[in-house]
Amino acid sequence: MELKKTEKPELKKVHSKVLQMVNYQLWSNIEALSRLKQKGKKIGKLRFKGAGWFKTLNYNQSDFRIEGKKLILSKVGEIPIKVHRPIKGTIKGIIIKREKSGRLFASVQVENEPQPLLPSTGKAVGIDVGVKHFLTDTEGRQFENPRFYEKTLERIGILQRKLSKKRKGSENREKARVRLACAYERLVNQRNDFLHKLSRFYASHYTIILVEDLRIQNLVRNRNLAQKILDASWGKFFQLLSYKAESAGGIVVKKNPGGTTQDCSNCGRKVPKTLGERIHRCPYCGVELDRDYNASLNILYAGLGRPEEPAETRPLQVIPASLIIEAGSPFATARG
């Protein structure tokens, strides 16, 4: 398939390099689907998506430049921009992305010299993620679960009902659609901001980070917890944590989650408990710990071995999500 300007007069205003990259992206997606089908994966039929679904344009290698607060694109002209951070290095490409709310973003691809790794702290930490608290670590910290979707759900429901009452094709329906898209966009931005700052904190302060190798797709089969698990975005947190730890000279180690909740971190004996029991009480050695703190210790010991001295039973430090999100907090300014 080739997009020809002679057959599509409306494409005369589109730069040829952009059309080539659209072609390349579409064929790459089709080839990836073909490889999955050859491996026995279930692949649905290709469907026509309709006009307006494609939301990215890729200016690769040339025909763009940035001058001050203006982005100049071939066959488009000058576009006023707001630069969020200084651009360092040689610009190799620019990807223009349109959100559903209508806002446009330009992602600048640069080539620069590798940055020196941060000095190794030599410290290790075990992390247990959860629903009540987003995570508990072996340093005795518990980070509050911000529950962004739960807090935004009422407003999203109101906007969805207003949208459904508008006549299709009307300007009022388009305005209602944009308001709903902005609400979802704000939700995603809040969640990403929280995950980026928290993962950067751990990547900057610890060389070895041990987490559970969770099968999240299996966990969300529980209908009572599925929404809360998806809202927490554990998978994305682990992904951000992995690449930030690597860039800082550290490593993320995933351990088998089996037994981390039920086993005693002090003596290693199995202590069965229900999901509602939030305190770990061992009848064999007498240790009493927060359930999630006990699990984080087991994750740490699974990678580094069990120490001879017993675990500390000090009260945990519960850190509210607002402290992580607000500008100027130690988590917002941590290196990583």
Q: Which two tokens stand for residue 43?
A: 């692949």
Which residue in the list 31, 113, 128, 312 is annotated as catalytic?
128
Which residue in the list 137, 231, 263, 292 is annotated as catalytic?
292
* Distance set, CA 52 to CA 2, 48, 102, 103, 181 (Å): 19, 12, 11, 14, 15
Q: What secondary structure letter does DSSP report for 278? A: -
**Going by C-beta distance under 8 Å and a sequence separation of 6 or more, which residues neighbour residue 315?**
140
Active site residue 144: no
Active site residue 63: no
Active site residue 292: yes
Q: Cβ-count burial of 285 within 10 angstroms (0-12 exposed, 13-18 middle, 19+ buried)?
A: middle
CA triplet 250, 264, 279: central angle to 5 degrees?
100
Which residue in the list 137, 212, 231, 290 is annotated as catalytic?
212
SS3 100: coil
Asked whether the beta carbons of 240 and 196 are under 8 A apart, the reply is: yes
Asked whether the beta carbons of 182 and 225 are under 8 A apart, the reply is: no
Phi then psi for 46, rounded to 5 degrees?
-70, 135
- Residues with active-site annotation: 128, 212, 292
